[in-house]
């Protein structure tokens, strides 16, 4: 009897967790969930248990779908033997053939990072000092807060920092390429294949390149530049470019899950969409080189974004399972 | 060392001195290799030492040990399979030029093996729904489309997968 009751509560807790991660949850759902947790201490215990279980899977899935495919292959092995030669196996080989033509962005498996977002996921992180981070798709950061400094290490990806003012404790975002230091401001930092970009939306930020050698660091010879609101500074190698005016609304549209294209080459837009999709998005740069597009595309539903592109541009979008999407001129 | 872990150590010592030789023989017959049998026997006792099971309640020590050792053998085989498949999928997705670092590979394979064990026995649709939701962060709407079922079904699938995992974890504690 008691076991049945316990089982029912755990089932409800599991459904709440599923709902909260359904991708379609509103304030009413959240407040119902809170009410349910408060209604009975056993509810709260069950919820905590489920939440811990949910966290166990952290660290998997930020590898472009390799973890999911592996698990489906291992667990579906018995069924697959009958279908050998067709279905999933053939697709994986096809992906292998086409993937070698691309250089996909390398997504290290940052299992030990303090905060991570999966591919296609956007995550808000409330920091202990009242600052806030928004992590873009496929991003990993570590926190290093001390009495004298608030340091956020960006392992890879892109983030927006809304910094709570604290004169005594500078706020620094650091990547392998350099640092961006602020006192009470809002800015984004994005790691690029060849460096780091910093876009400032409020106040100002000091951007410094990582010193090329330890001895240069020792002598304090890092190359720095100050960027103010409305500017972008780029770190390439051991230099910081002179900050340039950019449209910050456009640069930070990803925070609102939007990609804004204003007469941009289609291949650039597709390259950007790739960051938000697990699986492979394949296209031939040259075949698409003459096509330009303008529009606003949803980043939280890249299938829809591709549908929109197909409606705007003379292209064909073909899906092969969830893993592979081919784009070709029509 | 706390009293509890002291008694646990003593209980394991007794188990070890009475049954280690026998377990080695059992494993050798099963694996056909004395080196692997010795490793596996070590792992088995390590698992006993770090488990939360009440050793005083173990009535059939040899059955208890072979259950754990059997599980380890299955895990070991699964780990190899997971590693092989993961590397295959990885190079299919990322090409052969970039390999996962060996450090993260070990961690991922370990995690995947544990997850594979948790999800085993779960029917295909709930399992796929759960993986798409939890690992790929896809919305229930998208998953429903991919699996050809209703959106409300996805919530049930995900919840069912969670309960399934919890049951297996609880079993481990016993």
Q: Could you report the per-residue pLDDT of B53-112, keeping only the tens digit for each?
A: 777 778 888 888 998 898 888 888 888 888 888 887 777 666 666 666 666 777 788 888
Considering the domain architecture, whether residues B4 and B63 belong to the same structural domain is answered as yes
Please indicate whether, in this complex, the C-beta atoms of A53 and B162 are within 8 angstroms of each other: yes
Q: Given B102, B136, B159, which residue is the final one in a domain?
A: B102
Euclidean distance between the first and the last CA atom of chain B, given in angstroms as a whole number: 23
Could you say which residues of chain A have pLDDT below 70?
A: 1-2, 62, 64, 77-112, 183-184, 213-221, 321-323
* CATH number of residue B149's parent domain: 1.10.10
Considering the domain architecture, whether residues B88 and B28 belong to the same structural domain is answered as yes
Considering the domain architecture, whether residues B72 and B4 belong to the same structural domain is answered as yes
Considering the domain architecture, whether residues B129 and B67 belong to the same structural domain is answered as no
Q: B157 in a domain, yes or no?
A: yes
Q: How many domains are contained in chain B?
A: 2
Length of chain B: 174
Q: B72 in a domain, yes or no?
A: yes
Q: B115 in a domain, yes or no?
A: no
Considering the domain architecture, whether residues B10 and B95 belong to the same structural domain is answered as yes
Contacts of B124 in chain A (CB under 8 A): 76, 79
Q: B107 in a domain, yes or no?
A: no
Please indicate whether, in this complex, the C-beta atoms of B155 and A99 are within 8 angstroms of each other: no
Considering the domain architecture, whether residues B96 and B127 belong to the same structural domain is answered as no
Considering the domain architecture, whether residues B8 and B49 belong to the same structural domain is answered as yes
**Average predicted confidence (pLDDT) for chain A:** 80
* Residue in A10, A63, A93 closest to B166 by CB: A10
Considering the domain architecture, whether residues B144 and B96 belong to the same structural domain is answered as no
* Residue in B86, B122, B140 closest to A70 by CB: B86
B155 has a chain A CB within 8 A of its CB: yes
Considering the domain architecture, whether residues B94 and B125 belong to the same structural domain is answered as no
Q: Which domains does chain A have, with CATH numbers?
A: 2-55 (no CATH), 127-250 (2.60.120.1440), 255-329 (3.55.50.30)
pLDDT reported for residue A103: 28
ipTM: 0.73
Q: B112 in a domain, yes or no?
A: no
Please indicate whether, in this complex, the C-beta atoms of B93 and A22 are within 8 angstroms of each other: no
φ, ψ dihedrals at A208, nearest 5°: -125, 140
pLDDT reported for residue A78: 42
Looking at the predicted structure, is the pLDDT value of residue B48 above 90? Answer: no
Contacts of A278 in chain B (CB under 8 A): 136
Residue B135: which domain range? Answer: 121-174
Considering the domain architecture, whether residues B96 and B131 belong to the same structural domain is answered as no
pLDDT reported for residue A49: 92
Phi-psi region of A238 (alpha: psi -120 to 50; beta: other; left: phi over 0): alpha
Contacts by residues A96-100 (CB-CB < 8 Å, ≥ 24 positions apart): A96/B91, A96/B92, A98/A280, A98/A282, A98/A324, A98/A326, A99/A280, A99/A282, A99/B92, A99/B93, A99/B94, A99/B95, A100/B95, A100/B96
- Tell me how far apart the alpha carbons of residues B123 and B92 are, in angstroms, rounded to a whole number: 27
Structure confidence by residue, pLDDT tens digits, B108-157: 888 888 888 888 888 888 999 999 999 888 899 999 988 889 999 999 99
How near does any CA of chain B get to the CA of A136, in Å? 13
pLDDT reported for residue A79: 39
Q: What does the angle CA A12 – CA A17 – CA A22 come to, to the nearest 5 degrees?
A: 120
Considering the domain architecture, whether residues B73 and B147 belong to the same structural domain is answered as no
Q: B161 in a domain, yes or no?
A: yes
pLDDT reported for residue B99: 67
């Amino acid at each position: 009897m008691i076991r049945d009751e316990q089982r029912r509560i755990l089932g409800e807790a599991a459904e709440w967790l599923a709902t909260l991660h359904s991708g379609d949850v509103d304030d009413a759902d959240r407040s119902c969930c809170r009410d349910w947790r408060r209604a009975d201490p056993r509810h709260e215990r069950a919820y905590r248990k489920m939440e811990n279980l949910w966290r166990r899977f952290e660290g998997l899935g930020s590898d472009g779908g390799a973890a999911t495919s592996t698990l489906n292959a291992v667990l579906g092995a018995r069924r697959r033997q009958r279908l050998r030669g067709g279905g999933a196996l053939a697709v994986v080989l096809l992906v292998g053939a086409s993937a070698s033509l691309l250089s996909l962005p390398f997504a290290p498996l940052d299992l030990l990072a303090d905060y991570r977002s999966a591919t296609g996921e956007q995550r808000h992180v409330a920091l202990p000092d009242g600052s806030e981070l928004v992590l873009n798709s496929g991003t990993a950061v570590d926190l290093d807060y001390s009495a004298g400094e608030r340091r956020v290490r960006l392992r890879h990806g892109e983030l927006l920092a809304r910094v709570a003012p604290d004169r005594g404790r500078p706020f620094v975002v650091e990547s392998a390429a350099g640092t961006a230091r602020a006192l009470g401001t809002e800015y984004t930092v994005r790691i690029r294949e060849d460096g780091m970009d910093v876009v400032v939306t409020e106040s100002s930020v000091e951007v410094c390149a990582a010193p090329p050698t330890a001895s240069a660091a020792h002598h304090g010879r890092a190359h720095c530049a100050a960027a103010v609101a409305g500017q972008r500074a780029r770190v390439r190698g051991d230099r910081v470019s002179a900050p340039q005016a950019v449209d910050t609304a456009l640069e930070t549209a990803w925070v609102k899950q939007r990609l804004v294209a204003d007469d941009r080459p289609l291949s650039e837009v597709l390259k950007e969409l790739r960051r938000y999709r697990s699986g492979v998005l394949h296209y031939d740069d040259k075949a698409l080189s003459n096509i330009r597009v303008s529009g606003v595309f949803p980043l939280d539903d890249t299938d829809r974004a591709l549908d929109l592109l197909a409606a705007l541009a003379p292209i064909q979008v073909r899906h092969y399972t969830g893993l592979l999407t081919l784009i070709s001129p029509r | 060392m706390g009293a509890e872990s002291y008694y646990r150590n003593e209980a394991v010592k007794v188990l070890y001195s009475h049954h280690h030789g026998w377990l080695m023989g059992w494993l050798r017959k099963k694996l056909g290799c004395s080196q692997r049998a010795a490793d596996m026997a070590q792992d088995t006792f390590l698992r006993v030492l770090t488990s939360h099971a009440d050793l005083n309640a173990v009535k059939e020590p040899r059955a208890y040990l072979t259950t754990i050792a059997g599980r380890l053998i299955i895990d070991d085989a699964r780990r190899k399979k997971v590693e092989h498949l993961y590397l295959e999928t990885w190079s299919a997705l990322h090409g052969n030029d970039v390999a996962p670092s060996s450090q993260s590979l070990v961690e991922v394979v370990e995690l995947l093996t544990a997850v594979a064990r948790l999800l085993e026995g779960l029917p295909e649709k709930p399992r796929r729904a759960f993986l798409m939701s939890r690992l790929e962060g896809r919305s229930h709407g998208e998953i429903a489309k991919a699996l050809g079922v209703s959106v409300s079904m996805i919530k049930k699938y995900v919840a069912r997968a969670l309960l399934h995992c919890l049951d297996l974890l609880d079993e481990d504690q016993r």
